[in-house]
Amino acid sequence: MIQKTILSNGLRIVTEQTPYLRGAACHLRFGVGSGSESFQQHGIAHILEHMVFKGTPTMDQVAFGNAIARLGCSTNASTGYESTTFELDGPAETILAGLDLFAELIANFHVPADELEKEKDVIQEEYKMIRDDPSAWGEDAAYQALLGGFAHPTIGTPESIDRVTRRQLLAFSQRYFTPDNLVVALVGNVEHAAAVDVLAKHFGHNTRECGPLELPPLTQVRVQHLEEDSEQEQVFLGFRAPEITRPDLHAFDVAMTILGGDSWSRLFQRIRNELGLAYTIDGGYSGWQHTGAYMIYSGCQPAMTDQVLSEIQSEITRFKSDMTADELVRSKAMLRATLLMSSDHLSNKVHKLLDDEVLFGTWIPYEQDMELLQAVTMEEAMRLAHEVLDLDKATRVTVGPQQPTL
């Protein structure tokens, strides 16, 4: 039930028809994000994402919002390091009408100067909201320390937000919001040809080609402490990890699930259950087309910062030498369960359909993912653990009143 069409201008459209689902979801992803911004324009991709919703010369944001609501649909958007994604969901019976409106908005948005200034004020408030949460801006700082300018905070800084002009926004969109840099995925009880017709109506005449994507070189800061008067110390330990297209990524997932993936994981059992040093302790992978990151995070009492860091490092060292067969079985079971349950959810289905097309150019069945997962051996999992978890190459970022002495 999965079909794909590539328009003559390069726009890719992938759909999965699901007669058994009453809802539908559509994601439209441009292959550009904050990682391609120049230093002087940090935050421009995120501002552009906001400004798309301000309307077109013939349909303002109020008219668009009201029309979408009448269909029972809702919209959202997000900006990452490598992509900007516009999201639509609603009943399958009205999703095409919603897509007709949304595609018109994205294809024809304008940037009124007065609306831009108001939205920049809104984004400044969003920045303050993040800045009031040490775990949120600490995570931003940790990724930037690990990966350099590619992973600078997507929202930018107050200064860079203020600097962005209408002309720069339009130039950025002309350069990167092009049909050959757009992939659309739709899941729902919708005919593929009907979805193609709607998208071709709004994007098919556009022949602009995407400009070169400029990614800054990956740099790294090994140790960073950010002073913050807070009740908790935020602790981040990051490692460079495989890019998301690596064929052996399943082995990495298996290994890292054992280390920090759940309440039975090594880090949780040691740091929280055995020692009671922290309420939160986990590890998570983020991947992009040219790099990846594995980030361990914990929040603890400031006086416990050195001990938490020491125990994390000790657990990593032990983990790399004594992974057990039972842990391998448990990790595979948990990852398989995640795949099975995600296949039942509309939002996960459309995410996977879009990700597979962007990364691999084709849809990968859940069964194939599970077969690759099941085939992971102890040797492969250990090899990836040793490759990634090199403490001599880690980045450590702490946010709080206590600077570590380690």
Tell me what the mean pLDDT of segment 131-156 comes to.
97
Q: What is the DSSP letter of 66?
A: H
How many helices (H) and strands (E) the chain has is answered by 15, 13
For residues 200 and 12, give the distance between their C-alpha atoms in angstroms, rounded to a whole number. 10
Domain 223-400: top CATH class: alpha beta
Q: What is the pLDDT, as a whole number, of residue 343?
A: 92
Is 269:290 a contact under the CB 8 Å cutoff? no
pLDDT in tens, 346-363: 999 999 999 999 999 999
Is 253:335 a contact under the CB 8 Å cutoff? yes
- With a CB cutoff of 8 Å and minimum separation 6, the contacts of 214 are 36, 38
pLDDT in tens, 41-59: 999 999 999 999 999 999 9
From 269, 265, 268, select the one nearest 255 (Cα to Cα).
265
> Phi/psi of residue 80, each to 5°?
-115, -170
Domain boundaries, the chain: 2-203, 223-400
Q: What is the DSSP letter of 180?
A: G
Domains 2-203 and 223-400 belong to one CATH topology: yes
Q: What is the pLDDT, as a whole number, of residue 54?
A: 96
Query: Can you read off the two tokens belonging to residue 194?
Result: 């009907």
Q: What is the pLDDT, as a whole number, of residue 262?
A: 86
Q: Is the pLDDT of residue 126 over 90?
A: yes
Q: What is the pLDDT, as a whole number, of residue 1?
A: 86
Tell me what the mean pLDDT of segment 176-186 comes to.
98
pLDDT in tens, 232-290: 999 999 999 999 999 999 999 999 999 999 899 999 999 999 999 999 999 999 999 99
How many Cβ atoms sit within 10 Å of the Cβ of residue 167?
9
Q: Is the pLDDT of residue 76 over 90?
A: yes
Q: Is the pLDDT of residue 292 over 90?
A: yes
Q: Is the pLDDT of residue 132 over 90?
A: yes
Q: What is the pLDDT, as a whole number, of residue 302?
A: 96
Q: Is the pLDDT of residue 406 over 90?
A: no
Q: Is the pLDDT of residue 214 over 90?
A: no
From 31, 288, 298, 247, select the one nearest 147 (Cα to Cα).
288
Is 144:219 a contact under the CB 8 Å cutoff? no
- Look over the chain and give the mean of its residue pLDDT values, rounded to a whole number: 96
- 2-203: CATH topology is Cytochrome Bc1 Complex; Chain A, domain 1 (3.30.830)
Query: Can you read off the two tokens belonging to residue 237?
Result: 């330990």
